[in-house]
Each structure stands twice: as C-alpha cells, then as structure tokens.
Amino acid sequence: MVLTTFLLPQIRSSNCHPRDKDQTVVAISDPLKPVATDQLLKFTIREALLCFEPSLLACLLFGYIRCVKLEWRKYIAEFFGTFSLVFAGTGAIVVNDITGGGVGGLGIAAAFGLVVMIMVYSLGDISGAHINPAVTMAFAVARHFPVSQVPFYWLSQFSGAIAASFLVRLLYGNVANLGATFPKTSIMTTFVLEIVLGMLLMFVIMAVATGTREVGGMAAIAIGGTIALGAIVAGPISGASMNPARSLAPALVTGNLNDVWIYLLAPTIGAIVGALFYQLEIDNFRSGFKLEK
C-alpha cells in the first residue's frame, strides 16, 4: 500500500490519456487484493509503458505474482475440500459395510453433512469452498464466478475426489463399491430426484453466499444441514449425490461406470436451476421493494 500511495500522484500527473488514468488507479489501488488473473492481464502493462513509469511496472509485476499465488491457493483449497468430502463421506459408507451397519444411515448422512460444514467454514474465505463441480458451474451461469476459472476448479475438484477414492480403496479394499451411487429405483425417478436435490442445495448456497464466497458459521451450518437432509431423505433411493465429483470418483476407481451419467448431469442441471431461481426471486423482491418505496 505504501508503494501504491507513492505511485498515485505520479499517475495523476503523467501524460496518460484520462481514461487510462482511471483504469490504472483502479487496477493497482490495492496490489494485494485477489484480483482475477485475466483482469490483471487486461490491465494494461501497455499503458504503463506509454506512461514511462518504471515504478508502476514494478508494482504491476508484484501484483501479478501475488495474484498467481492467490489463484493457486484457491485450487489447492478446492482439491483438499473435495478430497475431504469424498474421503469422509464414502469412507463412512465403506466402514458401515465392513462393520455390518455400525455407522448406519443417519451416521452416513451426518458424515457428509459435517464434512461439508467443516470445509465451508474452513475454506470459504480462500476459494469459496465450492467442493462441487455443479456448484461451480451454477455460480458461473449466474455470473457470480468467472467462467475462465471453471476448468481449473473442476480439475481441482475431480482430482481431489479421485485421490480420495484411491485412498479409501487402499485402506479398505474394494468394499461397497467405495461408496459409489446407484439408482435404487427407475432411472427417471433417480434423475428427477437428483435434479431436485441439486436445486435445493444451490438455492440454499445462493441464499447464504456473498459473491462467490460462502461466509460465516451460519452459512456452513445451513449448507451442511442441507447435504445431511438430502442424504437422509433420498440416500436410500438415489444415493443423494448432489455432486458429480463425489459420484464419478468411486465409479472410476472401481471401474463401474453404469448410470454415472445421471450423477454428472442431474445435479448440474438442478444447481443451475436453483441459482437462476434464486436470482429471479431476489430480483422480483427488489423490484417490489422499490415500487413500495
């Protein structure tokens, strides 16, 4: 910030075009702020060169390096969060099978809900704690998350989930299909159920979210509680996936990809519908509030 304060008078007194001045001040007003990499690149090293400001170039370079580090922190957080979700959740299913029902259905639901709650609370300030490719896609569609980061979040999430399934298999062997999800009824029933669950989950996430970050202890409890509730209600029927990474990982590691497309597609559709429905309701509420005023 000291460097930025020193630079601002130079920028204002330079011979840059007035439009370039405004862009420059906004871009480097806080070089430690986690700005998206593509926005930082759009900032205009070209304008800095035209202004002949070596100190400004140094500030830009520092901000870019800092930005790249922050981006990697997000991806690592998503990897770790999704790893923890799959390891704890599917691990509970495997342990329940090994112990002959020692965990129970409620225990499995609690395991999924608790690990999500913990990860949201722990990682929300770093990456937003999506830990779910469907949530990431829904945020992007609703314009609460940069589309350019979606592939990197997905790579982190799927990699973390697959690593967790490999670890579960290493520890316990190929027991209970490593907690993979399968339709217990018709494919259509499972597909619709997963859409509804994904929609409810994303609606709750949007309701307790600010931008792309789930914030606060109450948000963690609300999101974890929604996961646990979905597992209790729909777990015996569809597996209550609500998360493509959670379903794809054990399916890949066990080699059983039957019907996995349901759990890739349905939660994503549901999450997008939930995000857009929430935005529609909020827009209507704000419009009505303005009319009343």
Q: H or E stretch including 209?
A: strand 209-210
> What does the block give as tokens for 195?
């859409």
Q: What is the pLDDT of residues 236-288, one digit of tens each?
A: 999 999 999 999 999 999 999 989 999 999 999 999 999 999 988 776 665 55
At residue 28, does pLDDT exceed 50? no
What pLDDT is attached to residue 69? Answer: 58
In this prediction, residues 158-171 reach a mean pLDDT of 97
Looking at per-residue pLDDT, the higher value among 127 and 33 belongs to: 127
Torsion-angle region of 251 (φ positive above 0: left; ψ -120 to 50: alpha; else: beta): alpha
Q: Tell me, what's the pLDDT at 218?
A: 85
Cα(154)–Cα(134) distance, integer angstroms: 9
Model pLDDT for residues 129-163, shown as the tens digit of each residue: 999 999 999 999 999 999 999 999 999 999 999 99
Which residue matches tokens 């940069």? 146
CA 256/CA 176 separation, integer angstroms: 12
CATH 1.20.1080.10 intervals, the chain: 75-289
d(CA 292, CA 247): 47
> Token pair 């002949």 is at which residue?
52
Q: pLDDT tens digits, residue range 191-232?
A: 999 999 999 999 999 998 754 444 567 889 999 999 999 999
Contact between 209 and 201 (Cβ < 8 Å): no
Domain 75-289 is classified in which CATH homologous superfamily? Answer: Glycerol uptake facilitator protein. (1.20.1080.10)
